Amino acid sequence: MAALLRRVAGTATLRSGCLRKLHSVYQTAELPDTHQLLRDTCRAFAEKELAPIAAQLDREHKFPAEQVKKMGELGLLAIDVPEKYGGTGLDYLAYVIAIEEISRGCASSGVILSVNNSLYLGPILKFGSEEQKQKWITPFTNGTKIGCFALSEPGNGSDAGAASTTARLDGDHWILNGTKAWITNSWDACAAIVFATTDKSLKHKGISAFLVPMPTPGLSLGKKEDKLGIRASSTANLIFDDCRIPKENILGNPGLGFKIAMQTLDSGRLGVASQALGISQAALDCAVDYAQKRMAFGSPIIQLQAIQVNVRRKVKPLRPHRTTLRFQG
């Protein structure tokens, strides 16, 4: 936490004071001082660094490398990772606040942030050895590298107990074969957590998780999916063809993959919900801004009762959503 406060104290984005007004009341009295500071910093950063370029990044399918590096410098890519591994050392309440505010400025950046925090770093922090934490966490906290999470498959979806991708032990290496589908951050990641079947007879107890460097021989990427949105974050298949990785790259023990996947997805859902909240808040902001500027009958349409009622209906569900996320965090 001390590292975050030092970073925040020196950021021009916070000192600028140009924080966009929230049209849905954000009850700051409910937040500890540290979390209020984090929220204000993320909001200012999103307004200054992300919102002005978000549409262009989305149109061009362009990864926001410079902005990701800056988020890493703020400690946002490793929010609940202990400081000894290069993280910020905060909690999941801080995580959901940061994801909401960043997503409010750029939905793609919110996804990138969420995946690196909860789906990549999270399981290594919980199940990895000390050596794995030093190798696979620390370099991924400062924004120069990000990771991805490879569970879903073309025929199985996200059924963690039915992985058709296989891993076979051959001396001092595991050999991976199969395809992982719709992997977020795939084209820009430097490592992946990959789930594969090591013993089919054990069903879900025969699934294991592996740490795979990217790029690496035997691993190729499919084409980038042309999505409806969030296109600055790449989505593609990971294709394994006799991909050899060191024996020590297994995460946890053999057969622990199903448990790792289930526990990781729980925290990942908090990230998805926070992204949705941030996007919803941004949509509401745009609607209110438009209603304040659009003139009709000699005055802004925000003064019309029908518009006010409609806006109020849009505000109402955001508050319990936000409260629920804080409680879960």
pLDDT for the residue numbered 19: 38
Q: Is residue 321 part of a domain?
A: no
Q: Is residue 296 part of a domain?
A: no
Q: Is residue 212 part of a domain?
A: yes
**Residue-range definition of the domain harbouring residue 196:** 149-259
The tens place of each residue's pLDDT in the chain, 329 residues long, gives: 545 555 554 444 443 333 345 444 445 547 888 999 999 999 999 999 999 999 999 999 999 999 999 999 999 999 999 999 999 999 999 999 999 999 999 999 999 999 999 999 999 999 999 999 999 999 999 999 999 999 999 987 767 677 899 999 999 999 999 999 999 999 999 999 999 999 999 999 999 999 999 999 999 999 999 999 999 999 999 999 999 999 999 999 999 999 999 999 988 889 999 999 999 999 999 999 999 999 998 999 999 999 999 888 888 788 777 877 766 65
pLDDT for the residue numbered 329: 54
Q: Is residue 17 part of a domain?
A: no
Mapping DSSP to helix (H, G, I), strand (E, B) and coil, where does residue 43 land? helix
* 274-297 pLDDT tens trace: 999 999 999 999 999 999 999 998
| Predicted TM-score of the model (pTM) | 0.87
Q: Is residue 171 part of a domain?
A: yes
DSSP letters along 109-156, please?
Answer: HHHHHHIIIIIIIHHHHHH--HHHHHHHTGGGSSSS--EEEE--BTTT
Instruction: Render the burial of 34-48: b for 16+ CB within 10 Å, e for the rest.
Output: bbebbbbbbbbbbbb
Total domains in the fold of the chain: 1
Q: Is residue 178 part of a domain?
A: yes
Angle between helix 305-315 and helix 257-293 axes, rounded to 10 deg: 160
Residue 254's domain is classified under what CATH number? 2.40.110.10
Whether the CA torsion 191, 60, 115, 82 is positive or negative: it is: positive
Q: Is residue 153 part of a domain?
A: yes
